[in-house]
Structure 1
Amino acid sequence: MTARIRALSLTEENRRWWTLGAMCFALFMLMLDNTVVNVALPSIQEDLGADLAALEWTINAYTLSLAVLLVVGGRLGDIFGRRRIFLGGVSVFALSSAAIGLAPNDTLLIVGRAIQGVGAAMMMPATLSIVTNAFPPEERGKALGTWAGVSALALAIGPVVGGFLTDYVSWRAIFFLNLPVAAAAIAMTLFSTRESRDETVGRTIDYAGIVTLTIGLTGLVLGFIEANRWGWGSTRIIGLFALAVVALAAFVAIELRVRTPMVDFGVFRSRQFLGASSVGFIVSFGMMAVFFFTALYMQNILGYTALEAGVRFLPMTLVLIVMGPLAGRLTDRIGPKPLLVTGMLIVGISQLWQSFLTADTGYAFLLPSFVLLGVGIGLVMSPMTTAAMNAVDRTKAGVASGVLSMGRMVGSSFGVAIFGAIVATVGSSKLRESLPGVPVATRDRLAESLGGGGVSDGAAPARVVDATHDAFISAFGTGMKISGVVAIFGALVAFTLISGRRPPAAEQVPVPAPELAPEPAAA
């Protein structure tokens, strides 16, 4: 009994585990919101009278603000204190969740989602940098494996929780659920987590860097989000990408000259950090496209409801939950390289497997590929994170975690956009072959429907429905083949750039402190 009480009380020996628990609480809330909202969109539409564009921006507003501000959130934690920025992020996330739950119209809902993304951008890199600072290198794989497992658990049960609350309570309950979780995360953080920051820099903010990075990433991510709807060759998309190139070039020029840059490019001197970041981009590129378009296949081709489709993803995510902590422990023993190479190869095989789907293969054919994908992603996520964070000095943990998380978010947006472009292009070609007598304008409208899996039964003649389904499946197969090849290339990247040695202290590449005159603390 005494031993149990001692284990539950805060001591220097177990403080880091209490800290990990606090970060996992917050991470669970954050990742749950990535998937829990999707299944509530029809109820939101009915309750608020939202149109399709408003529903899209209910998702996109959160994604955009999160992706754009991740690096800023990580760097602010380095400068002003990671615990302080984390607590601020949790508070913003909780308050915006309450505001969304009370939103009387879709405009305030979208504004609330954008603010929620700001809170998430403060939280996500802070959870990773706080865990990195709390654990010594030889235990970091185990800790980050737990961190990855909690993330997978939240993603797995998100559609189920969202479906249950929407059907039996209200879509607003999805957002009110964040309030007690946020309160628990704040209490545990105040109880257990010590403050840490980058002592090599002064407490000054690189405003020019923030502005140019924000403009550049906004143009880039917004371009990916809207490219298939506005057209890749449209003036607006070309303008967004041109703006992104100019702003990001200006950002690099500014960062190389200021005394306290938002991104210390010294972290990229490590081949391991560069390799781990590249693997993170590649695995996210394929993973989100699989989740998004396979869900469309199950709902529009196989006829499952959103909740039924979400439940059928559970075998993959349950495997991922088990593999995450296991891969973390293995990383501490054998290093990240063999796990990353093996994991990316398995991800590639799973995606190539799915490229052979037809309208008749069904879920039984999908299930083994889901299990393989869960194994592959589980072998990649925590070793990739551990490799990246062990490759930089602890003082740079905030900016390193921000860069890593940003790369994954941009990779996700890029993957969905490219896959959508493949569906539109290949699908249009297939429709021209299967419906030669249909007017061009009608075929174009049918091609636009492919982004949602094709037209539904009853909305058009059976011949047209079958043609759009066949076009979607053909394009889906092409996209999966490309994703599979990209994943296998990711295995080559890991093999080339990731060190084969055990982690980790020898792998750290300290970034020298700049020679600064003493600066006053920010008010």
Structure 2
Amino acid sequence: MSELSHRRRLLVLGICCMSLLIVSLDNTVLNVALPSMRADLNASLSGLQWTIDGYTVVLAALLMLMGSTADRIGRRKVFQAGLVLFTVGSLLCSLAPTLEWLVAFRMVQAVGGAMLNPVAMSIITNVFTEPRERARAIGVWGGVVGISMAAGPLVGGVLVESVGWRSIFWINLPVGLAALLLTARYVPESRAPKPRRVDLVGQLLVIALLGSLTYAIIEAPVAGPGSPRILSCAGVALVALVTLVLYEPRREEPLIDLRFFGSAPFSGATVIAVSAFAALGGFLFVNTLYLQEIRGLSALDAGVWMLPMAAMTGVCAPLSGRLVGSRGPRLPLLIAGVAMATSGVLFAGFDAEASVPLLFTGYVLFGLGFGMVNAPITNTAVSGMPRAQAGVAAAVASTSRQVGATLGVAVIGAVLAAGVHGSADVEGFAAASRGAWWIIAGCGVCVLLVGAATTGSWAARTTSRTAARLDPEAAGNQRTEGARA
């Protein structure tokens, strides 16, 4: 391609990364601000969970719909609408008078966020068509997550300490507006040649499944796991899951095309995404409360303490992208699994909270592991699949991340709530959170085992067969691409 077209591709990548930056930065900044929100809005522990999960549930529920909608009506158009909604939602969050309104406005943000990440990844996939170049672009994309993790705690700490927690949402406004203007000027419009129709029943089932399951997990410590309210929500989630599995294969154009999961790497990437982001969501939630409410650190000091983890993520994410491009996803996944599992074991088995050297080591290892895991997830999800379904494939991968983050905060927050019981010292908190850390360690083991099992030549062959079933005309080209990935 010409030098001008190369520059244009890099500019498109930069614009897409801006959207990821505001979404990722919003989450990391929010975690640092949780204790201040708790004091100002008189929120319970479950209320803090809802400020995070109210966003991630809506995001996870709508990502696949928005991915297929973008494939149908135009990716740039949906991307621009997402920027508008996310920016407006951020402004509303900064004005929220109560916790309930804050959660509601976070949901507005989530509707916009659902139009950004999977659509941006679909744009990148269609702009960077050569597998190695695309893997590097995805590595840069993953590096933005690291930048947001590194900058988020520090930026959030400064804003919370100097202005107040409401100001954390203001930083999305100029970035969102700039990305909106640049998108209109530089991002090309693209659509799938054969877009799918809306699956309204499937969409409602996904909303019912994620919403009822999350509610049951978060509220169980307060209401009791055997209460009628919790049992009813669990029943709704189970019925929705069974109905979804039975209904979707019968549709000609389903919301979730279960044939994607015939690819071992794609299925593995889904499980790994849920595991890794569950570990991240729980890790950030537990550490934020520990550093500020147990150790008594300010928001800024807490951000500084978590900087080793964020810095390692920022360093390792682009390195992981290069490794995926040159050697495939196996090595980064193995490194990620070992590092994340070891970090969890340090906290669960060796009380790392009570030892500064162990605490630092645990942060570094978790940042290393999480930095390595993101690029393989994204690249594996879209590589080898027909580019006509790029938006759907990317949306499933993004949905898996958000489902993981939702479950991580819900489950680990519930475990913590059940064990704390007023523990207000390092030793007491360490004991109460031990179960949460074992869950995080287990997530790391899952990344390791699934990564080892779903990479290699056998896995690539399953991807080729899946691509042939999804798009027989493109099977030849996609088979070559899947083998390289």
Please confirm whether the aligned pair reaches a TM-score higher than 0.5, indicating the same fold.
yes
Say if 2:475 is the partner of 1:512.
no
Contact 2:146–2:315 under 8 Å retained in 1: no
Provide, for residues 211-261 of structure 1, a one-character-per-residue CA deviation record: whole Å limited to 9, x for no partner.
Answer: 222122211222233333333333222211211121232233332223322
Query: For the residues of structure 2 that align with 1:421 and 1:42, how far apart are their CA atoms?
Result: 17
Query: For the residues of structure 1 that align with 2:285 and 2:295, how far apart are their CA atoms?
Result: 15
- RMSD in angstroms over aligned alpha carbons? 2.9
Aligned twin of 1:444: none
Aligned counterpart for 2:449 among listed residues 479, 492, 502: 492
Say if 2:365 is the partner of 1:372.
yes
Provide, for residues 386-439 of structure 1, a one-character-per-residue CA deviation record: whole Å limited to 9, x for no partner.
Answer: 1111142212222222221222222223233333454456x4xxxxxxxxxxxx
CA 357–78 in structure 1, closer or farther in 2 if over 3 Å, else same: same
Provide, for residues 181-224 of structure 1, a one-character-per-residue CA deviation record: whole Å limited to 9, x for no partner.
Answer: 1111112222222222222235x322222222212221122223
SS at match of 2:115: helix
Say if 2:199 is the partner of 1:242.
no
Structure with bigger gyration radius? 1
Q: Which amino acid aligns with 1:175?
A: F
Query: For the residues of structure 1 that align with 2:316 and 2:428, how far apart are their CA atoms?
Result: 35
Aligned twin of 1:337: 330
Residue 91 of structure 1 and its aligned partner are, at CA, apart by 0.7
Query: For the residues of structure 2 that align with 1:495 and 1:317, how far apart are their CA atoms?
Result: 26
Contact 2:61–2:203 under 8 Å retained in 1: no
Provide, for residues 79-129 of structure 1, a one-character-per-residue CA deviation record: whole Å limited to 9, x for no partner.
Answer: 222221111111111112223334455544332221111111111211222
Contact 1:280–1:407 under 8 Å retained in 2: yes
Aligned twin of 1:395: 388
Contact 1:89–1:118 under 8 Å retained in 2: yes
Query: For the residues of structure 1 that align with 2:234 and 2:384, how far apart are their CA atoms?
Result: 31
Name stretches of at least 5 consecutive residues in structure 2 with no aligned partner: 474-485
CA 42–344 in structure 1, closer or farther in 2 if over 3 Å, else same: closer
Aligned twin of 1:152: 146
SS at match of 2:467: coil
Contact 2:263–2:462 under 8 Å retained in 1: no
Query: For the residues of structure 2 that align with 1:484 and 1:360, how far apart are their CA atoms?
Result: 15
Contact 1:31–1:151 under 8 Å retained in 2: yes
Query: For the residues of structure 1 that align with 2:353 and 2:27, how far apart are their CA atoms?
Result: 31
Say if 2:208 is the partner of 1:215.
yes
Matched residues, number: 469
CA 106–284 in structure 1, closer or farther in 2 if over 3 Å, else same: closer
CA 338–55 in structure 1, closer or farther in 2 if over 3 Å, else same: closer
CA 143–247 in structure 1, closer or farther in 2 if over 3 Å, else same: same
Aligned twin of 1:177: 171
Provide, for residues 149-202 of structure 1, a one-character-per-residue CA deviation record: whole Å limited to 9, x for no partner.
Answer: 111211222222122223323433322322211111112222222222222235
CA 262–360 in structure 1, closer or farther in 2 if over 3 Å, else same: closer
Residue 290 of structure 1 and its aligned partner are, at CA, apart by 2.0
TM-score (norm 2): 0.88
Provide, for residues 358-413 of structure 1, a one-character-per-residue CA deviation record: whole Å limited to 9, x for no partner.
Answer: 48833222112211222222221112211111142212222222221222222223
Aligned twin of 1:355: 348
Residue 512 of structure 1 and its aligned partner are, at CA, apart by 3.0
CA 170–492 in structure 1, closer or farther in 2 if over 3 Å, else same: closer
Spell out the pairing of 1:108-507 with structure 2 (5 A cutoff).
108-136=101-129, 137-202=131-196, 204-358=197-351, 361-423=354-416, 427=419, 447-449=420-422, 454-455=423-424, 469-499=426-456
Query: For the residues of structure 2 that align with 1:106 and 1:485, how far apart are their CA atoms?
Result: 33
Query: For the residues of structure 2 that align with 1:25 and 1:57, how far apart are their CA atoms?
Result: 26
SS at match of 2:191: coil
Relative to structure 2, which stretch is displaced further, 337-346 or 271-280? 337-346
Name stretches of at least 5 consecutive residues in structure 1 with no aligned partner: 1-5, 428-446, 456-465, 516-523
Query: For the residues of structure 1 that align with 2:277 and 2:353, how far apart are their CA atoms?
Result: 28
Please identify which structure carries the higher helix content: 2
CA 510–112 in structure 1, closer or farther in 2 if over 3 Å, else same: farther
TM-score (norm 1): 0.82
Query: For the residues of structure 1 that align with 2:55 and 2:181, how far apart are their CA atoms?
Result: 26
Relative to structure 2, which stretch is displaced further, 157-166 or 98-107? 98-107
Query: For the residues of structure 1 that align with 2:468 and 2:58, how far apart are their CA atoms?
Result: 30
CA 14–503 in structure 1, closer or farther in 2 if over 3 Å, else same: farther
Provide, for residues 280-300 of structure 1, a one-character-per-residue CA deviation record: whole Å limited to 9, x for no partner.
Answer: 111122222222223333334
Query: For the residues of structure 2 that align with 1:512 and 1:167, how far apart are their CA atoms?
Result: 53
Spell out the pairing of 1:61-100 with structure 2 (5 A cutoff).
61-100=54-93
Query: For the residues of structure 2 that align with 1:225 and 1:236, how far apart are their CA atoms?
Result: 12
Residue 482 of structure 1 and its aligned partner are, at CA, apart by 4.3
Q: Which amino acid aligns with 1:337?
A: R
